[in-house]
């Protein structure tokens, strides 16, 4: 579960107000966004020359994967708008941003305010120049969940303790299963693969594909790569379980693995 999931709408609005008031100028907000974008996985983030209002404030890239890193790199032109949270940004601003984007690049507009419904529609109406919109609430929850500018006091949770102590118990037959725990990383998500635990790799050396049951509910038949190191064609899984947004922002998650040798099935538990 994400930290922000435990917050009420009112609490998020209060935090957003404090967040907005912290930045004395738009320039300070831009400097913060440089560090924020680096922390969420973008690269070569730079604040552009502050020569004119309405221009591009930052540039960044998201590198591609492996041998395709140059071909698959995404370039972003980014505008930062430090506006009061109750302000709205409409179609005109989105059009102005898209007018500055070279063909094949993506735009991004990050604000402490919010966007109108028409602004969201405008951001998607030209596939050659898409614009990612991050409003104040999305920005603040992202900062909270990634612990960027926020600290948290530990709270004892009986529910969490119960989960830890019972996490390996198979409720259907009350037998204890020893799961292997690993993180599905940002690199996995970028490469659109799920790396296999080492001990499971050894059991799959003769297989080209495998049945996978996720969270004891969803059944998949997935391809195993030639080196038997990872599961391929998993983009739908990333999207379904909240690891990949439509804007291609990846969120790592904890996972637990168990290989049923007899039935040749991987049981995979993906956490919240």
Q: Report the distance separating Cα 158 and Cα 58, nearest Å.
A: 45
Contact yes or no for 132/124 (Cβ under 8 A): no
The pLDDT value recorded for residue 69 is 55
Mean pLDDT within 226-232: 89
Note the pLDDT tens digit of each residue in 174-205.
556 778 888 999 889 999 999 999 889 888 98
Alpha-carbon Rg for the chain, nearest whole angstrom, is 22
Domains and CATH numbers, the chain: 3-145 (3.40.1350.10), 158-270 (2.40.330.10)
The pLDDT value recorded for residue 193 is 93
**For the chain, what is the mean pLDDT?**
87
Instruction: List the one residue out of 22, 261, 270 whose CA is nearest residue 139.
Output: 22
**If you write DSSP's letter for every residue of 62-120 in order, what string do you get?**
E---GGGTTTT-EEEEEEEE---TT-EE-HHHHHHHHHTPPTT-EEEEEESSEE-HHHH
Mean pLDDT within 261-268: 92
Contact yes or no for 138/148 (Cβ under 8 A): no
Q: Report the distance separating Cα 244 and Cα 191, nearest Å.
A: 12
Contact yes or no for 225/232 (Cβ under 8 A): yes
The pLDDT value recorded for residue 53 is 43
The pLDDT value recorded for residue 155 is 72
CA 88: distance to chain centroid? Answer: 25
The pLDDT value recorded for residue 95 is 94
Is 80 exceeded by the pLDDT of residue 211? yes
Note the pLDDT tens digit of each residue in 104-114.
899 999 999 99
Report the predicted TM-score, pTM, of the whole model to 2 decimal places. Answer: 0.58
The pLDDT value recorded for residue 70 is 61
| Separation in Å, CA 205 to CA 75, 95, 198, 199, 245 | 39, 53, 11, 11, 33
Is 90 exceeded by the pLDDT of residue 162? no
% of the chain residues with pLDDT over 70: 89
* 87-96, 150-159, 256-265 — most confident range: 87-96
The pLDDT value recorded for residue 91 is 96
Mean pLDDT within 49-53: 58
Locus of tokens 């204890």: 176
């Amino acid at each position: 579960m994400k930290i922000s999931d435990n917050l009420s709408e009112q609490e998020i609005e209060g935090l957003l107000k404090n967040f907005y008031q912290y930045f004395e100028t738009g320039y300070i907000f831009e400097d913060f966004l440089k560090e924020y974008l680096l922390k969420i996985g973008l690269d070569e983030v730079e604040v552009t020359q502050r020569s004119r209002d309405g221009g591009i404030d930052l540039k960044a890239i998201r590198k591609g994967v492996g041998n395709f890193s140059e071909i698959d790199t995404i370039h972003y032109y980014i505008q930062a708008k430090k506006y009061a949270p109750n302000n709205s940004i409409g179609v005109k601003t989105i059009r102005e941003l898209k007018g500055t984007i070279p063909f094949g690049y993506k735009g991004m507009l990050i604000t402490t305010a919010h966007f109108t419904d028409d602004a969201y529609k405008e951001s998607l109406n030209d596939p050659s120049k898409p614009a990612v919109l991050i409003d104040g609430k999305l920005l603040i929850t992202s900062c909270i969940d990634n612990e960027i500018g926020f600290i948290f006091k530990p709270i004892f949770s009986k529910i969490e303790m119960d989960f830890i102590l019972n996490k390996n118990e198979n409720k259907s037959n009350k037998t204890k299963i020893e799961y292997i725990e690993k993180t599905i990383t940002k690199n996995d998500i970028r490469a659109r693969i799920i790396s296999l635990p080492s001990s499971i790799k050894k059991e799959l050396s003769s297989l080209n594909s495998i049945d996978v049951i996720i969270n004891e509910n969803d059944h998949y038949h997935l391809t195993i790569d030639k080196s038997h190191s990872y599961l391929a064609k998993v983009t739908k899984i990333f999207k379904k379980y909240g690891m990949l947004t439509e804007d291609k922002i990846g969120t790592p998650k904890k996972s637990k693995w168990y290989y049923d040798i007899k039935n040749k099935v991987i049981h995979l538990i993906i956490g919240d």
